[in-house]
Structure 1
Amino acid sequence: MTIEASFVEELPSDTVLIVGGGPVGLVLATTLAHHGVKSVLIERNLTTTRWPKMDLTIARSMEIFRCLGIANGLRQRGVPSHFPFTCLFSSGLHADRPITSWTLPSVDEFAAQIAATNDGTMPLEPWQRVSQEVFEAWLKELGEENPMIDVRFGWKATTARELDDSAEVQITDARTGAEKTIRSRYAVGCDGANSVLRNSLGIELDGGPISAYAILVHFKSKDLTRLRKQGQFWHVFFPNDAASGGSVKGAIIAQDEIDTWTVHRFVPVGFDDSQITSEEAVYSVLGGMGEPYRIDIDEILVRSTWRPSIAVAESYAGPKQRVLLAGDACHQTVPTGGYGMNMGIAEAFDLGWKLAATISGWGGPQLLSSYEADRRPVAQMSVQWSQRHMGNLMVLSKKLQLDADIVDSDTDAGKDMRKTWHDYCQLNDGHNKSTGVEMGYRYQSSICVPSELDCDGSAPEFDARRYIPSTYPGCRAPHVFLKDGTPIFDQYGRKFTLVEFHDGTASSAVELFQLAALKRNVPLKTVSLHGEDHTHQIWGAKLVLVRPDGFVSWHGNEMQDVNTALLILAQAVGDM
């Protein structure tokens, strides 16, 4: 491939080019800046999204934002912390009450659970409801204020290629049509499902669109009496009756608990959506199995159609490791579970430290390849669980043979149908209760260093519903509050951290690691914890080497000599 342009901009060798100014690209830029690396971020649109898209930032993402120092800022812009995350299942708002509900805790309630359950099984941060429309605009503001980030909206990438020592991306000014090429040491495609960078490299997707299609209507309404007739909610799901083809008719999402809402109206693939107005789509969904349910709509903000896709890229990087991918550019999934954007955030955080280490000179030649090895299996697993969650919703009506004439009736048949519906939903409630999917996975790349504690080969089990605390290499180090009430997470440095649980006896382990880090030029913070028996019991090792992203590189109970410490550090930074 040959790129021709009238002008070539050569970025300094310490600056990363990021293509795509959505949440993933902006978080990557923020992560690089956190590690002292500059970036140029280009985005084809002139402004951030007007569409709501993701409305849940999961607990693991909030942990990441805490590390970046922006968690509290996001919470100030999200739904206030006292509102619960209630999901209702309804036959339609004509009925006096919902059929059943998932009662998920508010941020305040979640925080209380975390404070009361100091056994390593919990995240450090609760989740947060915030519309991507709000979230993305705020991240852009942070980027524009950060002297390490050069934010350039209104530039569209048209093609890209890898060279032996750099990447070239041709871009076009959306306002003037002017073209130029940016050459950088590394380029990252955070440019969405139709990624120009992925397509330019010829990287295929494993998967594709599924047999579903929806009309999205984002709107304003203060008709709370009618909207909340069955109670306050985060989501309400409305199935069709079985005679109408089963499946889910649609859902409504409360975006801000004030006046902003989003409706998804599912229609057959190929349906001519011009046949239905935005208002009719809203009324149809809220009516559920019955007649359309009218509300007062103050303003239609945006309307679009979307078709879910389930796919994972066959590779997360080009063959020369000069162009890498993150977010929707390397995976697409259905909305159920909220894994899509949150996977991208975790990818940006992982790739950010690995790029920073490589550019700074202490990352080894295998470090960047560990990005795909670490993150691609997580995407495959998350996509499968998201599909399972959606499948449970889509088959509900047909599986239970819901009947619009029976379900709300005061008959034995109606009571039985409602109970069956209730039981089914309570049994299949994993959408936002799959903590293991969100943070219980284990990386298995070459930078995960086994020790004598792992010689039996018994890695921790995986449970989709819960996080099992472990410092087995490749696992997220467990959150625990120390005796003074501070979280162990806040002890980590921006680079690597060696945590030692000191029992009062003489130990040279820290000194040996410090000497090895000095010889290998690996930035290392050491933390010696005295009398922290509770945390030591949960962590299960006297010495734990924690990566910059909070995952474990190595754990053990002793260190005999500096050469062993050198080998551990070399493997942990991709130099073996």
Structure 2
Amino acid sequence: MAQRKEHPRTPILIVGGGPVGSLLALSLSHFHQASTLVEASTTTTRWPKMEQINGRTMEVLRILGLADKLRSVDGVPKADAPWTVLHHTGLGDPVPEFARVDPHLSLKEEKKLDQQHNDGTRTSEHHQRCVLDIFESFLKTEVLRNENVTSHYGMKYLSHIENENGVSTICIDKEGNEHEFTSNYLVGCDGAGSRVRRNTGIKLKGGPINIGAYLVHFRSEELLELEKKTYGRFWHLNTHGIGCLVDQDESGTFTIHNFGPHVLQEDVTKYDPEELIYRILGGAFGKPFKIKIDEILVHSAYRPNFAVVKSFISEKGRVVLAGDSAHRQPPHGALGFNSGAHEQLDLAWKLSALVQGYGGLHLLDAYALERKYIVLQNLIHATELARTFTDYTVQYLTTGPQILDPANAERQRLADLVRGISIERAADGVEFDRRLTHSRAIVRDIDGSQSPLWDVDKYQPSSAPGSRVPHLWLKTKIGETSTIDLISHGLTLVCFEPFYQSTSEQAKAVFLSVAAKRNIPLHVVVLKDESRVRSVWEDRDLVLVRPDAYSLWRSQNQSQQPITSEDYIQEIFDVALGVKEAEKRKTIPTEPTEEDLMVEFAEKMKVVGAEDTEGGMGEVKFVAGFQVEVE
């Protein structure tokens, strides 16, 4: 007879042990906060949904002490692995390659540049190729060995009841026994078909794009040998007009993707995965290119989606969403998992502050506002990449078989065009320079300082409140100690000495005094004679930094502020920790509001032909093997 077991109260219950949920549990532990994680599956994924971890996400892993560990895992491409994207007409053609792009340098090459350019424009970590099944397995191992995480695998979420004091959640195990968890907060990291989201009544806005896709994940030693001896090492090989091939590990594991409206129209259950591989390798106008396939690992149809929740938190403020449960992003720009990785670190420190008693009730409102703004920006970027890619595909297919002729002028034009519009290209402004200047949990400059204009392709280093503080190597430890490494599990006050302002020394003492009275974990970092770092951090004596490396407040260059006043320091902490909200910012001409972004997102959806629905994801013909049933 099935029974119900009541578990001891847990401060934070995480539903979903995928990459975002696992990272959230590990991040909470980093902030000295215990949590409980429940995951329906007893095994990690077999699906290659993720192909790259961007530099900012690797920086998040660095903060958690996991970056170097991941890079040493078997199956993760090593430091000399290229990011080369080959553009081919088809592997059976006499001259298949018509363009190549390197959106990133190899890690080995990046580290050489780190030694030469310590100017704040680079990052402490760089992109890493890594397929999802390896990454998720790595994270699960870290979760299982972490003493601050109580994990239950094979435990499926059923429902929850929320009130002002917490959440009661019911789960069921593989034997059919129910389990009741009581928590201060419930976090839904349970993927695109999130039951937590649906049971909370939070609606999505957005919908699926008007094309389908089919992937086949497989192993082939023969293809690996062809890559090494004939085509040269690559990351992506695009056979335009039909799909692409991804080298996942440089050891013979590959994935092909077939894109197009035909996937929505055909009976995908009749697809032969081996024949589909041959088709993709042969190109849009060539014959199927046969190779020896050693093993088909998994295969499935899927449909890219663009969507974002109306709110990241419930009305009562006890249920929170992160990752795919809160937004659905297509593969264009690789912003799905990477967005989730960034937001979980933000959520982790805020939840820790709330549970540990030094954070205020407005912290989760700040999380919801900050993350939705960034997700909308990312979705707009992804829709633009999708439009560009679709337009290029149409031009390629319109050219017809003459594209196979190396001397053809249209082939040369398309080669030049694709070098500039590659969807795999770096977009440093998107990945490293997302700003929180609209947040109500930062203390804005009052001296008229203007942040650099945002650029999609360029990272603009700034210590302005709402910006990720710049990474530089300390002068005595180039390549070893980054300014990012100085950020503690609580708030960090970075002090540049000698001070320019006569009041800064006293202000530092007041910060420490007020933090001690309020039990705020505040770590003071003193940087002496670090003139390069100080200059890039825009010549401020004091910068207050939150645990995810975003600036909260900084002293002014010519200050009339009473920065030695305890009341003023109390005010800074009140805003930074969500005890009270900062005043709503005045509109800055170069910064859109959330409402502006929603309008632009809706327009972009129309351009790419995506369905725009509210509350659901429209009607779909199939459910991918790696996707939970859609609404």
Residue 452 (structure 1) aligned to one of 431, 441, 446: 446
Cα contact 1:501–1:528 (8 A) shared by 2: yes
Task: List aligned pairs for 1:258-269, cutoff 5 A.
Answer: 258-267=251-260, 268=262, 269=264
Deviation, 1:181, is 2.6
The Cα of 1:192 is off from its aligned counterpart by: 0.3
Tell me the equivalent position of 1:164. Answer: 164
Quick check: 1:471 aligned with 2:463?
Answer: yes
1:409 maps to a residue whose letter is D
Distance 2:425 2:410 in 1: 25
Q: Distance in 1 between matches of 2:458 and 2:4?
A: 53
1: CA distance, partners of 2:495 / 2:406 = 64
How much does 1:341 deviate? 0.4
Alignment partner, residue 475 of structure 2: 483
Which residue of the other structure, out of 343, 354, 357, is the alignment partner of 2:353? 357
Q: Is the 8 A contact 2:491 2:522 kept in 1?
A: yes
CA contact (8 A) 1:160 1:196 kept: no
1:524 counterpart letter in structure 2: L
Instruction: Using structure 1 for the length normalisation, give the TM-score.
Output: 0.94
Q: Which amino acid aligns with 1:102?
A: V
In structure 2, the partner of 1:515 is 513
Q: Which residue of 2 aligns with 1:238?
A: 239
Which one-letter code corresponds to 2:165 in the other structure?
A: D
Q: Which residue of 1 aligns with 2:525?
A: 527
Which secondary structure state, in structure 2, belongs to the residue aligned with residue 99 of structure 1?
A: strand
Aligned-residue sequence identity (percent) comes to 35
Give the partner amino acid of 2:22: L
Q: 1:166 to 1:91 in 2, by over 3 A?
A: same
**Residues 250-306 of structure 1: CA deviation (Å, up to 9, x unaligned):** 111101001100111124213211332010110111111211111110000111111
SS of 2:403's partner is coil
- Tell whether the 8 Å contact from 1:237 to 1:252 is kept in structure 2 after alignment: yes
Letter in 2 for 1:499: V
The reply on whether 1:392 has 2:388 as its aligned counterpart is: yes
Query: Are 2:181 and 1:185 aligned?
Result: no
Distance 1:52 1:32 in 2: 27
> Aligned-pair distance for 1:231?
2.4
**Residues 408 and 570 of structure 1: CA distance in aligned 2, closer, same or farther (over 3 Å):** same
**1:36 is the counterpart of 2:32:** yes
Aligned to 1:474, the other structure's residue is in SS state: coil
2:403 maps to 407
One of 400, 403, 414 as aligned partner of 1:421: 414
Q: Structure 1: state its 5+ residue gaps.
A: 241-248
Q: Deviations over 1:378-411 (max 9, x none)?
A: 1111111122222222221323554342112254
Q: 1:572 aligns to what?
A: 576
Residue in 2 aligned with 1:493?
488
- What is the letter of the counterpart of residue 519 of structure 1? K
Q: Distance in 1 between matches of 2:33 and 2:290?
A: 53
Please state if 1:52 is matched with 2:53: no
Normalising by structure 2, we get a TM-score of 0.86
Instruction: Give the deviation of 1:512 after TM superposition.
Output: 1.6
Task: Write the distance in 1 (CA, Å) between the matches of 2:221 and 2:531.
Answer: 54
- Deviation by residue 1:18-51 (Cα, 9 ceiling, x = unmatched): 0001000000000011111111111111201011
3-state SS of paired residue (1:405): helix
Cα 1:165–1:263 shift into 2, 3 Å: same
Match of 1:286 in 2: 281
Corresponding residue for 1:536?
Answer: 534
In the alignment, which residue of structure 1 is the partner of 2:19? 23
Structure 2 counterpart of 1:375, one-letter code: R
Structure-2 residue corresponding to 1:302: 298
What's the counterpart of residue 564 of structure 2?
A: 560
Q: How many residues align?
A: 557
Deviation for aligned residue 1:94: 1.4
2:399 and 2:231 map into 1 onto residues whose CA distance is: 20
Q: Deviation per CA, 1:428-479, whole angstroms, max 9, x where unpaired?
A: 13533101101211112111111333x36x3432111011011111110000
Q: Distance in 1 between matches of 2:413 and 2:156?
A: 52
What is the deviation of 1:118? Answer: 1.4
Shift of the 59–47 alpha-carbon distance from structure 1 to 2, 3 Å rule, reads same
Question: Which stretch of structure 1 is more off in the superposition, 378-387 or 349-358?
Answer: 378-387
Q: Which amino acid aligns with 1:368?
A: L
Distance across 2 between alignment mates of 1:451 and 1:89:
47
1:11 CA displacement: 3.8
Q: CA deviation at 1:519?
A: 2.5
Report the residue type matching 2:169 in the other structure. V
- Quote the RMSD (CA, aligned, Å): 1.7
CA distance in 2, matches of 1:504, 1:131: 47
The one-letter code of the counterpart of 1:474 is G
Matches of 1:425 and 1:208, distance apart in 2: 28
Q: Is the 8 A contact 1:7 1:181 kept in 2?
A: yes
Between the aligned partners of 2:575 and 2:273, the Cα distance in structure 1 is 56
Secondary structure of the residue aligned to 1:445 is coil
Residue type at the aligned position of 1:418:
R
Q: d(CA) in 2 for partners of 1:25 and 1:563?
A: 39
Structure 2: 5+ residue stretches without partners:
581-631
Give the aligned partner of residue 625 of structure 2. none
In structure 1, C-alpha distance between the alignment counterparts of 2:226 and 2:271, rounded to whole Å: 22
Partner of 2:221, secondary structure, is coil
- Aligned to 1:406, the other structure's residue is in SS state helix
Are 1:271 and 2:266 counterparts?
Answer: yes
Whether 2:135 is the aligned partner of 1:141: answer no
Asked whether the equivalents of residues 84 and 101 of structure 2 are also in contact (C-alpha less than 8 Å), the reply is: yes
CA contact (8 A) 2:205 2:308 kept: yes
Cα separation, partners in 2 of 1:430 and 1:512, compared to 1, 3 Å: farther
Asked which structure has the greater RCO (Cα within 8 Å, sep 6+), the reply is 2
Q: Residue type matched to 1:238 in 2?
A: T
In structure 1, what is the Cα distance between the partners aligned to 2:38 and 2:207? 27
Q: What is residue 243 of structure 1 aligned with on the other side? A: none
